[in-house]
Chain A
Amino acid sequence: EPEVTQTPSHQVTQMGQEVILRCVPISNHLYFYWYRQILGQKVEFLVSFYNNEISEKSEIFDDQFSVERPDGSNFTLKIRSTKLEDSAMYFCATTGLAVNNEQFFGPGTRLTVL
């Protein structure tokens, strides 16, 4: 069964460093999302991406965050200058041909900022 993959599974970084989280969506999916979950809290929406551009972003997704699809397969989330409060589990999710379809989640990347 096709699945969403994410790398790395765990990233430890120093405050102020840049990190790039990578996602490989299911091949024929068109809608891509990043969510995050701070330990002990609920999952929060960060950004949605369709047709090579951001379709919606949350208040959390400030100028420190960016997304792109550099090679038509990978979908990346970059945090330019990490803060302690960026420590969380980051999930990539993808949806097929229509909005409001089932979302398929990757296994997550646990980001720890020291």
Chain B
Amino acid sequence: KNEVEQSPQNLTAQEGEFITINCSYSVGISALHWLQQHPGGGIVSLFMLSSGKKKHGRLIATINIQEKHSSLHITASHPRDSAVYICAANFGNEKLTFGTGTRLTIIP
């Protein structure tokens, strides 16, 4: 069965801390997506990757295909990074299968 698991479910950290959110998936994928969902509900795509590592500003996403695992890192975290971060995967077709999300709260 195609499944995506995320951890932790909730994460609270102090401003400036280095953040890591983990994602694992059950079988081979064609692409892995990291998404951000703000309190109002809107979803924004952060990264799409199928191998290696991508960086955008303070955000870094990595994927290990052999271990079926991806991580999202945030350096120098800021209160405005507070949101729900969602891992989602393409299991060989176009639809996305979503993880349950990680609720991140950064305290000033």
Task: Determine how close the nearest CB of chain B comes to the CB of A82; give it in whole angstroms.
Answer: 19
Q: Are A89 and B96 in contact (CB under 8 A)?
A: no
Pick the residue among B41, B44, B98 that contacts A44 (CB under 8 A).
B98
Q: Are A55 and B94 in contact (CB under 8 A)?
A: yes
**CB-nearest residue of chain B relative to A89?**
B41
**CB-nearest residue of chain A relative to B31?**
A100
Pick the residue among A37, A42, A100 that contacts B94 (CB under 8 A).
A100
Q: Are B33 and A102 in contact (CB under 8 A)?
A: yes
**Cβ of A42: which chain B residues have Cβ within 8 Å of it?**
86, 98-101
Pick the residue among A33, A45, A99, A107 that contacts B41 (CB under 8 A).
A107
**Cβ of A104: which chain B residues have Cβ within 8 Å of it?**
45
Interface size class of chain A, counting residues whose CB lies under 8 Å from the partner chain: 20 to 34
Q: If the complex has contacts A101-B48, A102-B33, are A48 and B86 also in contact, measured as CB distance less than 8 A?
A: no
Task: Determine how close the nearest CB of chain A comes to the CB of B41; give it in whole angstroms.
Answer: 5
**CB-nearest residue of chain B relative to A99?**
B94
**CB-nearest residue of chain B relative to A98?**
B94
Q: If the complex has contacts A43-B86, A102-B33, A102-B48, are A95 and B94 also in contact, measured as CB distance less than 8 A?
A: yes
> Which 6 A/B pairs are nearest by Cβ-Cβ distance?
A105-B43, A99-B94, A43-B98, A45-B95, A42-B100, A102-B48
Q: A43-B96, A48-B95 are in contact. List 16 more A-B contacts (CB 8 A).
A: A35-B98, A42-B86, A42-B100, A43-B43, A43-B98, A50-B94, A89-B41, A100-B30, A100-B90, A100-B94, A102-B33, A102-B45, A105-B35, A107-B41, A108-B43, A110-B41
Cβ contacts A to B, 12 pairs, < 8 Å: A33-B95, A42-B100, A43-B43, A44-B98, A50-B94, A56-B95, A95-B94, A99-B94, A105-B35, A105-B44, A108-B42, A108-B43
